[in-house]
Amino acid sequence: MARPHRVAFENAIYHVTTRGVRRLVVFRDDVDRRRFVRTLALVVGRFGWELLSYVLMDNHVHLFVRTPRANISKGMQRLLSGYALWWTKRHGEPGHLFQGRFHSSLVEGESYFWTVSRYVHLNPVRAGIVSRPEDWQWSSFAGFVDARRRVSWIAYEAVWAAWEGAFGGSDPGGPTRTSYGTGCSVLPSRRSRAPTAAGPSAATHS
C-alpha cells in the first residue's frame, strides 16, 4: 500500500519526531550529539527553517519547526541521511539508523508555540534523566534561560512573541510567571538578552 502523502505548505508548523530503528540508540556519546546538532544548524540555514525548539534523546529526536517554504521532507531527508551516513562510517555499522519515515504533526498556530516548546524541552525531565530542563545540555532550552548560550539559528523571538500573544505583557520572566512549572527555572526577561552566537559552530554545546 502506498504511503500517505505528507502535508506540506508554506509556513507550515510541525512537531517532528524521529527514532532509531527498533528504538536503538542513535547518539552513543557527545561526539555523535555534536555532529547531529551541527548538521541540524546547517539544514536550518540551507532550507530556511525557523527552528523553534529541539531536544536530542538517546534514541530519538524532537524538532519544533516552521517551514517558510514547503520543504519539510527535503530538509529532514538531508538531516537524517547526512547524519546516518556519518554515523555508520564512524561506528562501522552499516544498515539503517532511523526507523522509516519521520513522524510529523501539524501545529495549528502560534498560540500553541509555548505548549509544544514546553513539551519538547521537558522530555529529559519526563524520562528521569535530569530534574530540570536546563540541566540537559542537548536541547534548545539553554538559550531561553541564559542569553550567553543563544545561537542565531534558533527562533527564540518567535516563541517569546507567542508567549506575549497568548499571555499578554512583555516580560515572560516576570516574578509571577514561571516557564514550565515546578522545578524549572523562570525564563529571563527581554532586558537580559544578549547577541546570539552566529553560525553552526555555535551549536557544539561544549
- Please state the pTM of the whole predicted model: 0.84
Q: Which of 203, 206, 191 has the alpha carbon at shortest distance from 150?
A: 203
Q: Give me 87's grid cell.
A: 554515523
| Predicted local confidence at residue 6, as pLDDT | 75
List the chain pLDDT tens, one digit each, 206 residues: 445 567 899 999 999 999 999 989 999 999 999 999 999 999 999 999 999 999 999 999 999 999 999 999 999 999 999 999 999 999 999 899 999 889 999 999 888 898 999 999 999 999 999 999 999 999 999 998 888 999 999 999 998 888 775 555 454 444 223 555 544 544 544 444 444 444 443 343 33
CB-facing half-sphere around the CA of 5: CA atoms within 13 A = 3
| Predicted local confidence at residue 203, as pLDDT | 41
Q: Give me 197's grid cell.
A: 552566537
Domains and CATH numbers, the chain: 12-196 (3.30.70.1290)
Residue with grid cell 519515515, as numbered in its chain: 101
